[in-house]
Structure formats: structure tokens, C-alpha cells
Structure 1
């Protein structure tokens, strides 16, 4: 890869976008990357597109390949290209090592910032963030600890409770507990009442989640969730509207901003909750509304709580907070997502568009925040 030559070109920041990854959310990451790659302002940024295979290899890719892959739908997977990518080893050298099929090495232009468009384990959980810290590469989004806590529905709830946020009733079930004494585990879970939701503790995009309406359905739901994670979170069903709110950080330690809240409205009653199919496959099962049809004082409170949840995790860059708004007026936080989807229909992008920040401007602001932030302890 040649180095830039013109003065105007050399003033651009070079952004490496990461897509794919080793988690079950690989195809969602590809859709997210297509959206960002198609909307980023190339007059302001040079872009290097890196795809990560399911076995963890990094290769150069491009919008054409990503578009072809995402056309495959949920089965889309990135496959190895010809030019393999290796990260720098730190020491101030931020050039990527590029090795072709002949095992010959080239170097990229220096990378100014990485945008890890990765969802789920090995991408959103602090692992890639730690790798980038070790490589002395700045990156968009939350740091190592906040990413790890934000990925784990158990520790996330502990952080929320510590900050005084209201969470719904839940139980945590480890694989060891389930294998040793499933009957005791089921008795503990039954205290939550029905319906309830069985969830992998560290997965996203509704993978492995089952709504359970009766005790006899528990075994199958737990086995399904264990396909994605040995640690489970079991949550009591909460009657309420599902409200989301996007958070965007500010420079120099200012107060993070919150978008207008948005609402997911299930329109197809065959979907008992906002599952993977409703999110990414069916075109008629749900719709989004932003701003949500809520009283102004409730909207204001939700925006404040979204920022509080972001700060409870020591968040940086961005997050999306998900709440339940109950018929009796309670606002219960369900979870946050520290790298929400940027697909054409994703709520994070949509909420900011409805709050006055368009897609290219949102991408630019996230990159600028990352460029301003130091690496290491902060």
C-alpha cells in the first residue's frame, strides 16, 4: 500500500475499520461495516477495511466484498483474502504489516484510529480493545473494562445496582451449577415467576434467548442458551414498553449527550419479543418510533438515566441503553450495548438522526472523540 503524497491527502486521518469476528454476531458486523463504509466521509478520512474470519485471521477487504457477503443474509461469513494483516507491536510504529500470498510483506500508511465494528465476544467484550491498547492504536468506543462489563449481563446489572439504577429481578446460572444440581437451579429460577427470559450472559443480537412461559420449558431454554455461553442470566418478564436511548460522549470530560428515546413496537404477534428474526430477518414484525410517544418529563428522565448507565460502566465514545417503561410509570434499565449496530435500520443511528446528527456526522464525531482520547489508564 503506497503512502499518501499530496499535502491535502496527508492531512486526512487514516481509519481502520474492523468487521466480522469470531462471535455468532459475525453477519451483523458485516452489515454494520457496510453501512459505515458506505457513509464515512472519504474527503476527511482514508479508510482501510479489515475483515476478521471466524477463526481469527485478519485480511484486507472492501465494500464490494462486504456487500456481496451481506446479500447472503444471516449465513454471511467473511472468508480469508489474499493479503493478511498483522498489527504493529507498539513502540510508536502504527503501520499495519500486510503479507500477501507469496509471503511478501508490505506496510500500510500509519493508522491513526481503529473503528472496531465488531459485536459480541472477541470484539465487543474488551478483548480487541486490549489488543489495540497493546498495539498503541487509538480506537472508537469504550475501553477494556467498560467493554467487558457491558458485554456481561450479570456484571452490568451489578454496576447498575451500585449506581442506584433500577433493574428487574434476575438470577445468574453457571454451567457448573446447572451440571451439578439442575433441580435446585430450576427451583431458584421458578421464584422469578413466569414468563421469564433465559439469556446467554455474554451474547447479543438476541442469539440464544428464549421466552419461557412454563417450568417444563426451562430445560430446553437453558440448553439452547448454553450453546452460546456457559454463563446464563435469567430475567423475570417485565410488562412494559421497550424504550431505547443512544448516548454519545463529549470532548474533554464533558457531560455525555443522550438522543431522544426511541421505541421498538412489535407489529407481528408471532414474535413474542424482539428476537433475532424480528431484528434482522422479518421486514414486518416490528417498527421503530423516534421520538417515542412518551410525556416530555419521562423522555427527559430516560435520557438522564441513559447517561447515568453510561457513566456507571465508565463508558467512552458511545452506548445504547435499553429500558422498560412499565404501566405504573417505572423506568427499569435492561442493558446497555457498548458497540450498537450501525445497520441501515439500527436504532442507534436512527435515534441520532432524529436528534439532529446525520449518519456521516455521527461517524466523524465518534472518530474525532477516539483521536482525542489517550491510550492507557485514563
Structure 2
């Protein structure tokens, strides 16, 4: 049986979203093939393990949850990864064969955790540290799309100190964009800190709000006659498959955090609970454009595992624009694979199997030599 460490939580504005996604997944992973080892990362970046972490209701009282679980660290000893208790009398309490990061946002999704896992020399069920870092940074993504001739909306980006020191210069750059625009913190997800701005009078307040969350800000033109669609890709660079395309609906100008995770959240389905049409109500030309661009983005960024790619469509022009990629998508996009005749358990099994296979291939590469 493969011992699977599932890491989730973290120091992120998407902490609670990560818990929902992880608990969903742990309850669907095949327990006949995998020993599931939950590893919860608190907002203070402390690691805890124990069975109570698999029950969503236990997170209502974090103090009690911590008392009922063990505080640990991840160590590598004699070519094996373990969970080790802290304190004077350290004990190795669990062996771990594979690590499955199910975190959103900073530390767990942005390449930080993936780099740590690579240092542990153990299979990681996600994109590698570089692809994960790119997937977290909307500015780097957009620059890569432009360089690769992948259609994306017009944008301006800058650092917080540039806006503080040279506000008028930044505002002049933004004037080259057509309103309305959308202001985003560059490295956050789940629509946190995002604001649609319909006139120049609103832009400064929107930027100041975004600066509270991030040091890097991006301002994008809003696509007119908008329809939002998403697609998921599962696999590796060598062999991957595409899900059905979904159409995302929202009563707002864009899908907010509340749309994604709070409205109707009593079912605790996370992103699966959002308003959506599957398959998307688009013609075959647009669907083919989405698939073609998705495959190109998957290759250019070097993605693996399961990802979700978000697109914007101008229905009048029948033009598809790449918006952004999510390297650890909410609910792991199981609702898309479910409509592609793949159960959530099968999706998770393929993700884990792919990570092990890719790790073995990578391990055959020459990494050291005698000098």
C-alpha cells in the first residue's frame, strides 16, 4: 500500500478553501490502494497530522483539533521520508512515499512547497516548482502568453512601490487601456482582492485595495460581450487528456470568492457548488480554439497533474482569450472529469500514478558526477 501524505491549509487567504478541497479529496482517494496521511498546515505554518483532520466539522474548533492531532515536521532519513514529532523526544511516527499538495495560494501552490518536496526527493502530485510558481503569478503568465502568441487581454502591471512613488506615471499607462478594467493582486487566487473598475475615478481606490494583498499588481481590459469558460487537463507533458468544457455563470461582473465558495456552501462542495453549464454552450469552432490554446499553455508552462485553464470569450467577435491557469484548482476540477466519464476516485488515482511514473523517469536523469 502506498503511503500518501496529503498536505493542505497554509498561510494563505485561501486557507479555508484548501481545507474544503483536501477533505473532499481524502474522502474519495481509494483506501484499498493508499494509506491516507493528512498533513494540515496552520496559518502559522505549523504541521499537524492525525485522523481527525479528515472530518470537515472538526475545523470549527481549531484549538481542539490541534489537541487531538500531533504536531510534526517532515524529515528525510536514510532515503526515506517520515513525519517526526517535535519536542525533546522526537519520534518517527509515519513513513511517507508520495506527497499530494492540495493547497491554494501562497506557500502551498506557488512552488514553495513543491521545491521542498523536490529536496525531499519524493514523488509530488502536482506541477513542479517552476510551473507552480508561474501558475501563481498572473503577470508572468501574461508575459509568457504574449511571448508565445497566445491570445490574452491587454494589460498593465507594476509593483506597489512604483505606484506609491510614481502614481501619475502608472495612471498614464493605465489610460492606454479601454475601460472597464479589472484590477488584481498578481499572486492571489479565488478572486480575492479583485475589483472591476468602470471609470478613471475608481481606479486609485481599486489599486490601493489590491496593494493590501500583494506587492505586484496587474490591470487588465475587461473583455466585452463576455462568456467565461474553463477546461481541465490531466496527465503529464508526454501524455495528457482534456476534460469537457464548462461555462461559468455569475450574477457579478466576474466570478467572486463568494460565488466560488460561500454562496450555497452548505453542501461543502467548493468550486463544484458554483453556477455552471456543462458542457459549455459554445459552438464547435470556439470549443476547438479553447482546446488548442489549452494544450499550448499546458506545454509552454510545463504543467502536470490536474490543472484548470480559464478562458474569456468575446461572443460578438467569436474570439477566445486565455485568462489564467490554476495549478491546484478548487475541488481539483472533479466536476469536469465527472462529466467526462471519469469518477473523482479515478481522477485522483491517475494523478497519483502519473506523479510516481514521472518521478521514476526523472530519477534516471544524471544529476551528479565525480570531479
Alignment of 1:1-378 (within 5 A): 12-63=1-52, 66-69=55-58, 80-81=66-67, 82-89=69-76, 91-99=78-86, 103-239=88-224, 240-250=226-236, 254-266=238-250, 268=251, 271-283=252-264, 287-327=275-315, 328-342=317-331, 348-374=333-359
Deviation for aligned residue 1:71: 6.0
Provide the secondary structure at the position in 2 that maps to 1:19. Answer: strand
Q: CA deviation at 1:187?
A: 1.9
**TM-aligned CA deviation for residue 163 of structure 1:** 2.4
CA distance in 2 between counterparts of 1:376 and 1:54 reads 33
Q: CA deviation at 1:16?
A: 0.4
Shift of the 215–261 alpha-carbon distance from structure 1 to 2, 3 Å rule, reads same
Q: Deviations over 1:209-248 (max 9, x none)?
A: 0111111211221111111101011111112200100011
- 2:139 is paired with a residue whose SS is helix
Q: 1:377 to 1:299 in 2, by over 3 A?
A: farther
Number of equivalences: 353
* Structure 1 residue 257, shift from structure 2 partner: 1.2
Return closer, same or farther for 1:286/1:127 CA change in 2, 3 Å cut-off: closer
Distance 1:143 1:109, change over 3 A: same
Structure 1: distance between partners of 2:84 and 2:150 = 45
Out of 186-195 and 83-92, give the one that drifted further.
Answer: 83-92
CA distance in 2, matches of 1:191, 1:228: 25
The TM-score with structure 2 as length reference comes to: 0.89
Unaligned runs of 5+ in 2: 266-272, 366-371
- The 3-state SS of whatever aligns with 1:165 is coil
Superposition deviation, residue 296 in structure 1? 2.5
Call closer, same or farther: CA 1:310–1:90 in 2, change over 3 Å.
farther
Q: Report the TM-score when normalising by structure 1.
A: 0.88
Q: CA deviation at 1:159?
A: 1.6
Contact map agreement 2:12 2:105 (CA 8 A) in 1: yes
> Secondary structure of the residue that 2:244 maps to in structure 1?
coil
1:310 aligned counterpart, secondary structure: helix
> Displacement, 1:147?
0.6
Q: Distance in 2 between matches of 1:65 and 1:130?
A: 25
Classify 1:258/1:54 alpha carbon distance in 2 versus 1 (closer, same or farther; 3 Å).
same
SS at match of 1:89: strand
CA distance in 2, matches of 1:84, 1:150: 30
Structure 1 residues 64, 84: CA separation in 2 closer, same or farther (over 3 Å shift)?
A: closer
Give RMSD over aligned pairs. Answer: 2.3
Which residue is equivalent to 2:268?
A: none
Conserved 8 A contact 1:53-1:78: no
Shift of 1:63: 4.9
